[in-house]
Amino acid sequence: MRTRPLKVALLGCGVVGSEVARIMTTHADDLAARIGAPVELAGVAVRRPSKVREGIPAELVTTDATALVKRGDIDVVVEVIGGIEPARSLITTAFEYGASVVSANKALLAQDGAALHAAAEDHDADLYYEAAVAGAIPLIRPLRESLAGDKVNRVLGIVNGTTNFILDKMDSTGAGYQEALDEATALGYAEADPTADVEGFDAAAKAAILAGIAFHTRVRLDDVYREGMTEVTAADFASAKEMGCTIKLLAICERAEDGASVTARVHPAMIPLTHPLASVRGAYNAVFVESDASGQLMFYGPGAGGAPTASAVLGDLVAVCRNRLNGATGPGESAYAALPVSGMGDVVTRYHISLDVADKPGVLAQVATVFAEHGVSIDTVRQQGKDGEASLVVVTHRASDAALSGTVEALRKLDTVRGVASIMRVEGE
């Protein structure tokens, strides 16, 4: 074993960073044996130096992250600060100064992944980011390496624990969105400002990263269609139950049926209770991958939290250190397929539409005609009337989102349609 240690700079020492430092210290001998050289924590960049950090010698702590990555003797920079800046500049500087980078930064990778990969390549360095998507769950490496000989057609996942906790609570207790969110906040699952989670931004960044790797195509955050889950109601869950479904916030990355383009989207959707993703409870994450040769695979586990996310960071750290000792780098960006990323209009799926209509002769025929005129085939219709008004639930066969949007627009114009109560996509069938 080499005795000279590989030096690691840790940028950020919050929930994840402190766990990374703890595991590096407590598992030092095992890590050294697995890598073939000791790894040494050479510096820890923090915002608040006065905070007591158990197990981290005070002399390693600095507020000058730039000076730390510019030291010139750092082998690996571990970035767990999050956000775009200063993380982007620090990572770029790390490459310039000869280090490889392990990052957990989904927002940055979803926005600037291509440029960061290029910078890594220019400097013969590694950029690894298993922790950026679904915490401890191995996803990036299985997609990038284990499935590199297969053709992935679809990635369907629950990649946000906060929203899965809220939706699971609504499903199991009949609670409304606000009540379930309040409980998630009280238990520490939801942040004080839950926007990134409940509006789907967090999941959309993860979808961009997964789609890019799965389809060997650059997919940026802006390419991902996004709908949050704040409008999901207890009534939607009741409708889902009647169909033998539940509701999940899904990240869906798909190759078009003709294989000529891909799509990536995040939105709430009904999925059958028989689908493996339906049984993912609480704050857990799971990702279902469909590919030509492997068939269906599911990856399941804790998608957030200090220790689980640190597990993914440490796995990357070991891999990057091994590469460094071998004078090699691991796989970089694979975007050779360069498939066009289509918009939501091209997505083809099934829909559950709930309408409030007048309960009088000819209304059902009128509604059915609108669907037919837009080429959307109806699978089932269920009507419940009361006092001259009725609730009409239409479930369609597969249709394009553009055709469905046209249908809904035309339905809204009918005098007999009082309102469109909800539209929910039906996935996983």
Binding site for ligand HSE (CB under 6 A): 160-162, 197, 202, 303-304
CB closer to ligand HSE out of 105 and 239? 105
DSSP state of 96: H
Q: Nearer Cβ to ligand HSE, position 202 or 254? A: 202
Q: Name the residue nearer to ligand HSE (CB basis): 198 or 393.
A: 198
| Helices 161-173/234-242 angle, 10° precision | 70
Cβ distance to ligand HSE smaller for residue 94 or 283: 283
First-residue to last-residue Cα distance in the chain:
52
Number of Cβ within 10 Å of residue 371's Cβ equals 21
| Least separation in angstroms between CB 168 and ligand HSE | 12
> Which tokens in the block code for residue 46?
């923090």
Torsion, Cα 8 13 15 20, to 10 degrees, reads 20
Tell the smallest beta-carbon distance from residue 249 to ligand HSE (Å).
Answer: 10
CB of 38 to ligand HSE, least distance (A): 31
Q: Any residues with CB less than 8 A from the CB of 107 and at least 6 apart, and which?
A: 82, 83, 84, 205, 221
Work out whether the CA dihedral 35, 39, 44, 50 comes out positive or negative.
positive
Closest distance to ligand HSE from the beta carbon of 258 (Å): 33
What is the sign of the dihedral through the CA atoms of 371, 373, 374 and 379?
positive
| Cis peptide upstream of residue 86 (ω within 30 degrees of 0) | yes
Residue with smaller CB distance to ligand HSE, 202 or 427: 202
Task: For residue 248, indicate whether it is catalytic.
Answer: no
For residue 168, count CB atoms less than 10 angstroms from its CB and return exposed for 0-12, middle for 13-18, buried for 19 or more.
buried
Supply the angle between the helices 363-373 and 401-413 in degrees, to the nearest 10. 140
| Closer residue to ligand HSE, CB minimum distance, 134 or 424 | 134
Active-site residue, from 7, 206, 360, 413: 206
Give residue 100's Cα distance to chain centre: 24
In angstroms, the CA 79 to CA 109 distance is 12
Based on CB atoms, which residue is closest to ligand HSE, 152 or 229?
A: 229
Give start and end residues of each alpha helix (H) in 326-396: 363-373
Q: Two tokens at 157?
A: 């996942």
Question: Please, where are the H alpha helices in 130-287?
Answer: 140-141, 161-173, 177-186, 195-198, 201-215, 234-242
Catalytic residue list:
206
